[in-house]
């Protein structure tokens, strides 16, 4: 069975005199090839009133890719819509993440999560960039805590110096 766009993920952005512009939020597990297939938007042509010339802005739910399609042909009998990609599909650029940290798509309301040493630390980040900003803050805090621990350990392991003897005051009697 062909992969198709979930109906709830295709919404009208604006209706114009000559064309309508839609926004399709693409599930993360759908590939670019899935989206470019004539079967992808085919089942939506009737209830969404897709017409030749309409534009569909596509963005993946994790904001990792985006682009724009134009509808060139429809085939209600085969449930297909032929689209053309207008320009390139922009793909997410990797960012530097400190060692041991990772950003993972969790999905649902959790969106992206941040993971350290295979343990999920936090979730709910709408974009990878937002998760990386938080990772950097956590990483800096962890490094500062380690530096503090090292200082405390070195101080607590140091042998105390004997107190200096105070000179006794002469008391004249």
Domain that holds residue 61: 7-91
Q: Both 17 and 82 in a single domain?
A: yes
- pLDDT of 34-61, one tens digit each? 999 999 999 988 777 889 999 999 999 9
Q: Both 109 and 79 in a single domain?
A: no
> CA angle, 121 as apex, 115 and 127 as ends, to 5°?
65
Mean predicted confidence (pLDDT) in 14-36: 93
Strand blocks (E) in the chain: 10-15, 20-26, 55-60, 65-75, 80-85, 90-91, 101-107, 111-116, 119-125
Q: Both 60 and 117 in a single domain?
A: no
Contact by Cβ (8 Å): 54, 17:
no
pTM value is 0.67
Q: Both 134 and 106 in a single domain?
A: yes
Q: Both 18 and 66 in a single domain?
A: yes
Q: pLDDT band for 19, please (50, 70, 90 cuts).
A: very high
- Asked if residue 162 has pLDDT above 80, the reply is no
- Any domain includes 165: no
Mean predicted confidence (pLDDT) in 85-109: 84
Output the CA torsion sign for 142, 143, 148, 153.
positive
Count of the separate structural domains present in the chain: 2
Q: Both 15 and 80 in a single domain?
A: yes
Q: Both 27 and 71 in a single domain?
A: yes
- Asked if residue 64 has pLDDT above 90, the reply is no
Q: Both 13 and 74 in a single domain?
A: yes
- Any domain includes 117: yes
- Any domain includes 2: no
- Asked if residue 128 has pLDDT above 90, the reply is no
Q: Both 66 and 120 in a single domain?
A: no
Mean predicted confidence (pLDDT) in 131-150: 85
- Asked if residue 67 has pLDDT above 80, the reply is yes
DSSP-derived secondary structure for 67-107: EEEEEEEEETTTTEEEEEE-SPPEEPPP----TTEEEEEEE
Between CA 44 and CA 28 the distance in angstroms is 19
Mean predicted confidence (pLDDT) in 94-113: 85
Output the CA torsion sign for 89, 71, 3, 43.
positive
Mean predicted confidence (pLDDT) in 157-168: 68
- Any domain includes 130: yes
pLDDT value, residue 38? 94
pLDDT value, residue 63? 86
Between CA 3 and CA 35 the distance in angstroms is 8
pLDDT value, residue 12? 92
- Asked if residue 173 has pLDDT above 60, the reply is no
What's the mean pLDDT when you consider all of the chain? 86
Between CA 9 and CA 46 the distance in angstroms is 15
- Asked if residue 80 has pLDDT above 60, the reply is yes
């Amino acid at each position: 069975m062909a992969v198709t766009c979930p109906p709830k993920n295709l919404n009208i952005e604006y209706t114009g005199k000559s064309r309508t512009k839609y926004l399709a939020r693409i599930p993360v597990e759908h590939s670019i090839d899935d989206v470019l297939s004539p079967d992808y938007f085919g089942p939506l042509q009737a209830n969404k009133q897709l017409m030749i010339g309409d534009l569909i802005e596509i963005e993946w739910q994790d904001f990792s890719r985006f682009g724009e399609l134009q509808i060139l042909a429809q085939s209600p009998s085969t449930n297909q819509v032929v689209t053309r990609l207008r320009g390139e599909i922009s793909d997410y650029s990797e960012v530097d993440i400190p060692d041991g940290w990772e950003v993972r798509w969790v999905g649902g309301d959790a969106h992206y999560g941040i993971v350290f040493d295979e343990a999920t630390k936090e979730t709910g980040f709408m974009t990878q960039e937002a998760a990386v900003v938080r990772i950097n803050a956590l990483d800096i805090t962890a490094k500062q805590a380690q530096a503090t621990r090292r200082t405390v350990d070195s101080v607590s392991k140091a042998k105390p110096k004997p107190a200096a003897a105070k000179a006794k005051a002469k008391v004249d009697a």
